[in-house]
Amino acid sequence: MRGPLWVKDDSANPTHSFKDRVVSVALTAARGLGFSRFACASTGNLANSVAAHAARAGVPSIVFIPGDLETGKVITTAVYDRDLVAIEGSYDDVNRLCSELVETDEFEDTAFVNVNVRPYYAEGSKTLGYEVAEQLGWRLPEQVVIPMASGELLTKIDKAFTELVEIGLVEAPANGWRVFGAQSAGCNPIAVALHQGAEEIVPVKPTGIAKSLNIGDPAAGLYALEAVRRTGGWMDYADDDEIRDGIRQLARTTGVFAETAGGVTVAVLRKLVESGKLDPDAETVVFNTGEGLKTLDAVADLVGPTYRIKPSLRGAREAGLLH
Amino acid sequence: MRGPLWVKDDSANPTHSFKDRVVSVALTAARGLGFSRFACASTGNLANSVAAHAARAGVPSIVFIPGDLETGKVITTAVYDRDLVAIEGSYDDVNRLCSELVETDEFEDTAFVNVNVRPYYAEGSKTLGYEVAEQLGWRLPEQVVIPMASGELLTKIDKAFTELVEIGLVEAPANGWRVFGAQSAGCNPIAVALHQGAEEIVPVKPTGIAKSLNIGDPAAGLYALEAVRRTGGWMDYADDDEIRDGIRQLARTTGVFAETAGGVTVAVLRKLVESGKLDPDAETVVFNTGEGLKTLDAVADLVGPTYRIKPSLRGAREAGLLH
């Protein structure tokens, strides 16, 4: 990269992922609409955010997660002492069950942030796009690299930029902006569809360490394809080793410790530069959507103390620290 | 509590503890003084913050930690790919070794944030006091409850309030402010000295889950005693079960997930109210100095999914979710 490269880091939110943005918007709407309980189907970050928001608002919540979720994301949701349901199945199974539950009498007062109040939730993602423009001094970047799970975040950041131009708050870059999408190799149906020039997305059974992106049947996948094609961007994907390298490279160079989704985005940025799909001279923003503390397991075997010594000058000298 | 009760939550900093404040001040001073490497003796949060700041600044760092530190705090420091030294001993052993290293030729260009540039580091804590005043609309609270490790944070928040009054930015409450200190039962030398009416602090060998507060020989302990006595406050301590209850109570009622130090502070607040030492009608601020993601082990065995079901309506019904 020769042009300016920015990291939009969303790990300082109350539960340390971008989901706090969409949950805040969705639950504010849900209360206005008269719902009395909050819920979601989640790969972890959303669960965490919904349970925390419900605790803060003093409202009951019931959160549905896949049974194999990382321990950290289970604990950070369960600590709020609200209902947490582990489902023996994938995220797509969890999502399907929630779509059924929302139709029952017993759940008619329950707002599932990503099911029956999903429109509000989806629009909440635009705040990430607005903030990028604001933080650049009311300008748009020429290129953005965005992680994709359902594909919704990518389409909404593109929408945010479009709206800001339409209402005259910012000018579009001379050649427009280009939108790039990042997936993990273990769950890459949107990127594969782009690579194959397809008009449909073939669902996959997700694998791999980037669990927060493991949506095998992405609800907004076709819209993400459209946005990338329209703007002249591209998509790619990274395997688990590349994701871990991405996490460490970002940490080492910026001080930002990203969760696996951030590792995906950084690893894909590297691929896009190497393949010439992304212009290394153009101003670029990559999005880190979550905090590394949430997915410690991903790097736990790779990093640790570089020395282990006895508490004495002799111990330090023998370890080579005084040379 | 009948009066206003505020949580000053410091978990949104770059590495999610209040240490980012003191490190930022200390390392800015260190660069100005010509040091070319950053270092610290740490119970974990400081290690994390120093390594991240060094990565961000592109400066080498070497961080010293006790060998039994929580895995999470080791990983979040090691991920920055800088030198990390595990010492087979307690924090006090680590601190003693760093005091020796700083006198060697090989470390003469190394700034230990809590040893040879400690004055800058200590003053950095005042920003927490300043922000409380600012966020209350340039007022001071009547009571503050502050976790104590070295005791420095407590003395510096008291100093921040004093300075703000002296320069006329705020008025002191009618009866002044009262400062309260919180320790864990596994490491309570300052609180015990207060309870015994002593003028000296007897060091202890720390135990218990609140590792970030485990400084058995607290450098600012006498100053903390002085501030508490002068303002008419008090100190108390909480055992591991009470700390875990404090974490869950704070999460359940506010949405804030604190690390063990925050659990200590909330648990001690409860004790201070029950014993009548703290006035439940007066405006009170409790400090959460770190993020629960950093000490998941403390609550891992206590919280988890409330249900585990198959991905079907029948599974949900059998579990009682549709009643």
Is A323 within the bounds of a domain?
no
pLDDT band at residue A52 using 50, 70 and 90 as cut-offs: very high
Last residue of a domain, one of B121, B155, B182: B121
Q: Which of B85, B100, B253 sits opposite A305 (nearest CB)?
A: B85
Is A224 within the bounds of a domain?
yes
The answer, yes or no, to whether residue B43 has pLDDT greater than 90, is no
Backbone dihedral angles phi then psi of residue B95, each to the nearest 5 degrees: -65, -40
Nearest to A61 by CA among A49, A44, A74: A49
Check whether residue A104 and residue A156 sit in a common domain: no
Nearest to B95 by CA among B114, B110, B70: B114
Q: How far apart are CA B304 and CA A85, in angstroms?
A: 9
ipTM score assigned to the predicted complex: 0.93
Check whether residue A132 and residue A88 sit in a common domain: no
Interface contact flag, A257 B104, Cβ < 8 Å: no
The answer, yes or no, to whether residue A305 has pLDDT greater than 90, is yes
Q: Write down the pLDDT at residue B64.
A: 97
The answer, yes or no, to whether residue A45 has pLDDT greater than 90, is yes
Tell me what the mean pLDDT of segment B62-77 comes to: 91
Interface contact flag, A86 B322, Cβ < 8 Å: no
Interface contact flag, A76 B299, Cβ < 8 Å: no
Is residue A136 within 8 Å of residue A168, measured between CB atoms? no
pLDDT band at residue A323 using 50, 70 and 90 as cut-offs: confident
Q: Residue A111 is part of which domain span?
A: 19-121
B88 in helix, strand or coil?
A: coil
Check whether residue A191 and residue A296 sit in a common domain: yes
Check whether residue B90 and residue B104 sit in a common domain: yes
Q: How far apart are CA A282 and CA A1, in angstroms?
A: 8
The answer, yes or no, to whether residue B1 has pLDDT greater than 90, is no
Window 259-288 of B: residues touching A by CB (8 A cutoff) are: none
> Which residue of B lies nearest to A58 if distances are taken between CA atoms?
B253
Is residue A283 within 8 Å of residue A141, measured between CB atoms? yes
pLDDT band at residue B57 using 50, 70 and 90 as cut-offs: very high
User: What confidence tens digit (pLDDT) does each residue in B105-135 have?
Assistant: 999 999 999 999 999 999 999 999 999 999 9
Is residue A132 within 8 Å of residue A32, measured between CB atoms? no
Tell me what the mean pLDDT of segment A180-200 comes to: 98
Check whether residue A75 and residue A194 sit in a common domain: no
Q: Which of B253, B303, B310 to mutate to test the interface with A (most CBs of A within 10 A)?
A: B303
User: What confidence tens digit (pLDDT) does each residue in A159-186 have?
Assistant: 999 999 999 999 999 999 999 999 999 9
| Full strand arrangement of the beta sheet holding B61-66 | A307-309, B83-87, B61-66, B37-41, B110-112
Burial of B58 from C-beta contacts in 10 A (0-12 / 13-18 / 19+):
exposed
Interface contact flag, A303 B104, Cβ < 8 Å: no
Interface contact flag, B313 A97, Cβ < 8 Å: yes
A147 in helix, strand or coil?
A: strand
Query: Helix A45-57 crosses helix B240-254 at what angle (to 10 degrees)?
Result: 80
Window 155-184 of A: residues touching B by CB (8 A cutoff) are: none
Percent of chain B with pLDDT over 70: 100
Backbone dihedral angles phi then psi of residue A139, each to the nearest 5 degrees: -130, 160
The answer, yes or no, to whether residue A43 has pLDDT greater than 90, is no
Is A310 within the bounds of a domain?
no
Q: Write down the pLDDT at residue A1.
A: 85
Last residue of a domain, one of B121, B154, B187: B121
CB-facing half-sphere around the CA of A126: CA atoms within 13 A:
14
> Which residue of A lies nearest to B293 if distances are taken between CA atoms?
A293
First-to-last C-alpha distance (Å) of chain A: 36
User: What confidence tens digit (pLDDT) does each residue in B180-193 have?
Assistant: 999 999 999 999 99
The single-letter code of the amino acid at A124 is G
Q: Which of A65, A101, A313 sits opposite B100 (nearest CB)?
A: A313
Q: How far apart are CA B124 and CA A28, in angstroms?
A: 37
CB-facing half-sphere around the CA of B317: CA atoms within 13 A:
6
Last residue of a domain, one of A95, A121, A147: A121
Check whether residue B63 and residue B131 sit in a common domain: no
Nearest to A307 by CA among A318, A298, A323: A318
User: What confidence tens digit (pLDDT) does each residue in B258-311 have?
Assistant: 999 999 999 999 999 999 999 999 999 999 999 999 999 999 999 999 999 999
The answer, yes or no, to whether residue B51 has pLDDT greater than 90, is yes
Q: Decide if A205 touches B, using CB distance below 8 A.
A: no
Q: Decide if B321 touches A, using CB distance below 8 A.
A: yes
Is A318 within the bounds of a domain?
no
Q: How far apart are CA B28 and CA B50, in angstroms?
A: 12
Is B164 within the bounds of a domain?
yes
The residue written with tokens 């609550």 in the block is: B299
The residue written with tokens 């990503």 in the block is: A114
- Count of H-run helices and E-run strands, chain A: 13, 10
Interface contact flag, B255 A53, Cβ < 8 Å: yes
User: What confidence tens digit (pLDDT) does each residue in B230-266 have?
Assistant: 999 999 999 999 999 999 999 999 999 999 999 999 9
Is residue B78 within 8 Å of residue B62, measured between CB atoms? no
Measure the CA angle with vertex B124, ends B9 and B43; round to 5°: 70
Q: How far is A52 from chain B (nearest CA, A)?
A: 5
Q: Write down the pLDDT at residue B70.
A: 80
Is residue B274 within 8 Å of residue B234, measured between CB atoms? no
Check whether residue B78 and residue B148 sit in a common domain: no
B204 in helix, strand or coil?
A: coil
8-state DSSP, B171:
P
Is B317 within the bounds of a domain?
no
The residue written with tokens 């629960």 in the block is: B292
Check whether residue A117 and residue A146 sit in a common domain: no
Check whether residue A161 and residue A92 sit in a common domain: no
The answer, yes or no, to whether residue A73 has pLDDT greater than 90, is no
Strand-pair partners of B178: B143
The answer, yes or no, to whether residue A36 has pLDDT greater than 90, is yes
Is residue A178 within 8 Å of residue A231, measured between CB atoms? yes
Q: In angstroms, what CA-CA distances link A186 with A91, A238, A264, B11, B149?
A: 14, 8, 11, 32, 45
Is A159 within the bounds of a domain?
yes
Q: Write down the pLDDT at residue B14.
A: 95
Check whether residue A150 and residue A266 sit in a common domain: yes
Looking at the 3D structure of chain B, how many domains does it have? Answer: 2
Q: Mean of the per-residue pLDDT values for chain A?
A: 96
Is B218 within the bounds of a domain?
yes
Q: Decide if A294 touches B, using CB distance below 8 A.
A: yes
Check whether residue A172 and residue A253 sit in a common domain: yes
User: What confidence tens digit (pLDDT) does each residue in B153-212 have?
Assistant: 999 999 999 999 999 999 999 999 999 999 999 999 999 999 999 999 999 999 999 999
Give the largest CA-CA distance in chain A: 72
pLDDT band at residue B82 using 50, 70 and 90 as cut-offs: very high
pLDDT band at residue B323 using 50, 70 and 90 as cut-offs: confident
Check whether residue A115 and residue A132 sit in a common domain: no
| CATH at B224 | 3.40.50.1100
Q: How far apart are CA B289 and CA A131, in angstroms?
A: 27
Percent of chain B with pLDDT over 90: 95
pLDDT band at residue A72 using 50, 70 and 90 as cut-offs: confident
Interface contact flag, B72 A296, Cβ < 8 Å: yes
Q: Write down the pLDDT at residue A24.
A: 97
Q: Where are the beta strands (DSSP E) in chain A?
A: 5-9, 37-41, 61-66, 83-87, 110-112, 143-147, 178-184, 235-238, 284-288, 307-309
Q: How far apart are CA B220 and CA A307, in angstroms?
A: 30
H or E element in which residue B133 lies:
helix B126-135
Q: Write down the pLDDT at residue B274.
A: 97
First-to-last C-alpha distance (Å) of chain B: 36
